[in-house]
Amino acid sequence: MESSRSNNIVVKVFGSSVSYMRRWLFRALSVGAIPRHVAFILDGNRRYARKWNLGEGMGHRAGFLSLMTLMKYCYELGVKYVTIYAFSIDNFKRKPEEVQYVMDLMLEKIEGLLKEESIVNQYGVRVEFVGNLKLLSDPVRLAAEKAMELTAKNSRAILLIAVAYTSTDEIAHAAQQSCLDKIQMRSGFCFGFAKADDDAITIRLGDVESHMYMGVAPDPDILVRTSGETRLSNFLLWQTSNSLLYSPRALWPEMGLRHLVWIVLNFQRVQPYLERRRKLLS
């Protein structure tokens, strides 16, 4: 009894000195520019499970733990927007058991995010699900909608979770919505039967952009894909023309503090150039 109490004290003292050192490190990093928006492609979960001989699906569970840790570090550091590619439309083509496992895990974790003690409540995070949510099963979609509704008033930070998402689907959807808007605005117009040239619909860049799922956030400063892969895999193609792409060798569940520090240092190295390019294009 006595020894477990002193063990607890040691753990607490160790924990608070680690978080003190982290805060000190983040303060030093904040002398330079801190990215406003970091997007992650969470790659390498299954490889992690194979590497450590874990059961099927355990890699995804380990990946969720590193997601929570990295989110906490990002918010401590002052990164306002974090976007994660959690499940792409193409991922639905994986083995049905795997899809089911990931969906069950997602449901469990979305419900967990809404608990009092969750990181979402601790840091005042608004959760936005981005993607073609109609493709999700009813329970997952309803949980996602509930999470968005319950966190809608939070404004300190925003977590964008891309599920049932691909960039091409987002662009096609935004283009369709822009057309529908214009058609609705023009009374007496019959879809597909423009009578004269002045009946033609003009869709501008701004129309499409206003219908993007990602429209709630500025473009990412950095896109990180873990596990050494350098493909974009149909993620944020529209939004990353001026983002730094970064590809650490670590598998997603291995990502931790030192990787995040390295990401920020890399960003700070190119930030003046990215800023100049943005100003030039705006």
Active site residues: 43
41-49, 90-98, 107-115, 138-146 -> range binding Mg ion (CB under 5 A): 41-49
In angstroms and rounded to an integer, the radius of gyration of the C-alpha atoms of the chain is: 21
Verify binding: residue 266, ligand IPE, rule CB under 6 A: no
63 touches Mg ion (CB under 5 A)? no
Provide the CA 146 distance to its chain's centre, in angstroms. Answer: 18
Sheet bearing 125-130, strands edge to edge: 125-130, 157-165, 81-88, 37-41, 222-225, 244-246
For position 128 contacting Mg ion by CB under 5 A, the verdict is no
Question: Restricting to residues 44-83, which ones interact with ligand IPE according to CB under 6 A?
Answer: 44-47
Provide, for the chain, the percentages of residues in helix, strand and coil under a 3-state DSSP scheme, each rounded to the nearest 5.
Answer: 55, 10, 30
**141 interacts with, out of ligand IPE, Mg ion, none, CB within 5 to 8 A per kind:** none
User: Minimum distance from CB of 277 to ligand IPE (Å)?
Assistant: 30
Using CB under 6 A, count the residues that bind ligand IPE. Answer: 10
In terms of CB distance, is 56 or 149 closer to ligand IPE? 56
Task: Tell me if 43 contacts Mg ion by CB under 5 A.
Answer: yes
By CB under 6 A, is residue 161 in contact with ligand IPE?
A: no
Q: Which is nearer to ligand IPE, 46 or 109 (CB)?
A: 46
Q: Exposure pattern of 87-98 as b/e (b: 16+ CB <10 Å)?
A: bbbebeeeeeee
The answer to whether residue 87 forms part of the interface with ligand IPE (CB under 6 A) is yes
Minimal CA–CA distance to 87: which of 71, 67, 69, 72? Answer: 67
d(CA 6, CA 269): 45
* 219 sits near Mg ion (criterion: CB under 5 A): no
Which of ligand IPE, Mg ion, none does residue 47 bind to, with CB < 5 to 8 Å depending on kind?
ligand IPE
Q: Please classify residue 123 by burial: count the beta carbons closer than 10 Å to its beta carbon, then call 0-12 exposed, 13-18 middle and 19+ buried.
A: middle
Residue 19 φ/ψ region, left for φ over 0, alpha for ψ in the -120 to 50 degree band, beta for the rest: alpha
For the residues of 195-216, what is the DSSP string, one character each? -SGGGS----HHHHHHT-GGGG
Residue choice 35, 38, 43, 163 for contact with ligand IPE (CB under 6 A): 43
* Alpha-carbon gap, residue 267 to 261, rounded angstroms: 10
Q: Which residue is nearest to ligand IPE (CB)?
A: 47
In whole angstroms, the minimum distance from the beta carbon of 243 to ligand IPE comes to 20
Q: Give me 169's structure tokens.
A: 């689907």
Q: Is 169 in the site for Mg ion (CB under 5 A)?
A: no
Query: CB of residue 280 vs ligand IPE: minimum separation in angstroms?
Result: 35
Q: Which residues bind ligand IPE (CB under 6 A)?
A: 42-47, 87, 91, 102, 227
